[in-house]
């Protein structure tokens, strides 16, 4: 089993608050299975919504939850040192869906933008990959069909990762990703469905490679939000419009923060 690198900072959180994701090699099929049960992560997500009085429509809420799960699975299929960010600009509903995360931080976060979103002529998927190893960020853009993050995964792998992969929505808030490795049995991969993925351990020879864990966590606070408003320091009247305070929203997780004139003065 691969050794988990030590995170750059300690996070005092109990294991029960994390979603554990397994990376499994499927012998004789030459495929990588990545799977996890996301109830702990979703619990963090809903506590975040309650804390900041965020109430997304049910359709958008489910879309964001699915995207967080799929991103987490993809992170486990990638090297530890990477941080990924996905932005999807949809035509209908007209939204920007944003998710980001990294294995070293053991966290993913995201939000939905519904205001001021440009209307594209098709659905666009933007991916940015950065690494702590000093490699230049890798950017990719592609079109995607539909509004289901589970379907986006196969399209993303075909165009950006240059190998077949499929994602599956299983029972009990579980998800799985199956990605081709060299000499993969592609006919077997194409024939998989939710039932066969759920019983892979019984039907195939498998070997656990490693586990990683994730929670919903942004890390934003006022000390990070205030510097963003530094350019308004000499134009406070324009910013506050006579009010004593304003509400500023985190661009990564939509958390709401009250900012007063005194804080900027």
pLDDT digits (tens, 9 = 90+) for 155-214: 999 999 999 999 999 999 999 999 999 999 999 999 999 999 999 999 999 999 999 999
pLDDT bucket at 15, cuts 50 / 70 / 90: low
CATH 3.55.30.10 fits 15-216, yes or no: yes
pLDDT of the residue at 135: 82
Mean pLDDT across the stretch 29-43? 98
Domain boundaries, the chain: 15-216, 222-264
Mean pLDDT across the stretch 24-46? 98
Name the pTM for this structure: 0.91
CATH 2.60.120.260 fits 222-264, yes or no: no
Residue 103 CA to residue 105 CA, distance in Å, equals 5
Q: Worst-scoring range by mean pLDDT, 35-49, 54-68, 122-136?
A: 122-136
pLDDT of the residue at 158: 96
Nearest one of 52, 36, 148 to 103, comparing CA atoms: 36
Residue 35 CA to residue 179 CA, distance in Å, equals 11
Whether the per-residue pLDDT at 4 is higher than 60: the answer is no
Angle at 220 between CA 246 and CA 248, to 5 degrees: 15
Torsion of CA 135, 85, 221, 8, to 10 degrees: -40
């Amino acid at each position: 089993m691969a050794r988990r690198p030590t995170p750059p900072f300690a996070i005092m959180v109990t294991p029960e608050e994390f979603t554990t994701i397994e990376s499994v090699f499927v012998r004789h099929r030459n495929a990588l299975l990545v799977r996890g049960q996301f109830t702990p992560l979703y619990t963090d997500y809903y506590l975040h919504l309650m804390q900041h009085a965020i109430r997304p429509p049910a359709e958008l809420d489910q879309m964001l939850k699915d995207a967080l799960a799929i991103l987490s699975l993809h992170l486990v299929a990638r090297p530890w040192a990477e941080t990924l960010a996905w932005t999807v600009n949809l035509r209908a509903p007209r939204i920007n869906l944003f998710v980001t995360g990294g294995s070293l931080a053991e966290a993913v976060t995201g939000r939905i933008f519904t205001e001021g979103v440009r209307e594209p002529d098709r659905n666009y998927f933007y991916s940015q990959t950065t690494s702590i190893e000093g490699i230049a960020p890798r950017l990719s853009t592609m079109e995607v069909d539909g509004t289901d993050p589970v379907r986006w995964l196969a399209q993303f792998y075909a165009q950006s990762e240059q190998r077949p992969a499929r994602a599956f929505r299983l029972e009990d808030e579980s998800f799985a990703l199956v990605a081709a490795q060299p000499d993969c049995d592609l006919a077997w991969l194409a024939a998989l469905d939710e039932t066969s993925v759920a019983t892979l351990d019984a039907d195939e020879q498998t070997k656990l490679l490693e586990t990683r864990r994730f929670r919903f966590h942004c890390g934003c606070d006022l000390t990070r939000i205030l510097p963003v408003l530094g350019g308004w320091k000499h134009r406070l009247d324009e910013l506050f419009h006579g009010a004593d305070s304003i509400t500023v929203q985190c661009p990564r997780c939509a958390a709401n923060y009250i900012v007063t004139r005194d804080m900027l003065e």
